[in-house]
């Protein structure tokens, strides 16, 4: 894992902890919908907050390929690299 990917993942986990109302073990293998039991509204809102945090645009089709926090970190990292 590259250093930027690691940083991205750490930041995503930090952001997610802010919206979770309970403590949770979060790592690259955490399934966002199944393990965290977040509904789609909360997930979409979280994605928008990541767009703001990283100053990027995450198109909806890229969101569709995300299942785990690791997937999300990779997508965000790639999009960050585009800037």
Chain residues in the site for another protein (CB under 8 A): 39-42, 44-45, 48, 51-52, 55-61
Cα atoms in the 13 Å half-sphere on the side-chain side of 82: 11
Q: 76: part of which helix (H) or strand (E)?
A: helix 69-82
Residue 60 beta carbon to another protein: minimum distance, rounded to whole angstroms: 4
In 1-83, beta strands by DSSP E? none
The Cα–Cα gap between 79 and 76 comes to 5
Residue 61 beta carbon to another protein: minimum distance, rounded to whole angstroms: 7
In the complex with another protein, the residue whose CB is nearer, 10 or 44, is: 44
Residue 57 beta carbon to another protein: minimum distance, rounded to whole angstroms: 5
């Amino acid at each position: 894992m590259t250093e930027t990917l690691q940083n991205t993942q750490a930041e995503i986990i930090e952001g997610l902890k802010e919206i979770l109302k309970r403590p949770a073990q979060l790592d690259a293998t955490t399934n966002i919908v199944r393990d965290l039991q977040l509904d789609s509204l909360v997930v979409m809102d979280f994605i928008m907050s990541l767009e703001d945090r990283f100053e990027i645009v995450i198109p909806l089709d890229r969101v569709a390929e995300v299942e785990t926090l690791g997937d999300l970190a990779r997508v965000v990292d790639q999009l960050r690299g585009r800037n």
